[in-house]
Structure 1
Amino acid sequence: MGGNLSGEHGIGAKRAEAMNKHMSEAQLTVLRSIKNALDPNGIMNPGKVLVLQ
């Protein structure tokens, strides 16, 4: 249906490569921007690319 799968706890190092294969650079930029806006100091779940809870 055109969607993307992810785990409920975020995308970590093991799945980061898969994200690069299945998402455009624009999508990845948006996800990184959200993560940086919500966690500018990188202290929430370090090592995760994106975490939404």
Structure 2
Amino acid sequence: MEKAMLSAHGIGYETYKREHDIRMNVEMKREENYKKGQQLFADLESKLHSNI
């Protein structure tokens, strides 16, 4: 988990656990990325179904 946090967010897991502000920033970025992924999926799915 430590390597994943460092590579994805540039901070260690212990810092993530201790620092509320950092944790909130990471979680907001995760949510934003999730929403972008969902929108991308929806766009691709609609294009796929419109070509049938």
Please report the TM-score for the alignment, with normalisation by the length of structure 1. 0.37
Decide which structure has greater helix share. 2
| Structure with larger RCO (C-alpha < 8 A, sep 6+) | 1
Higher CA-based Rg: 2
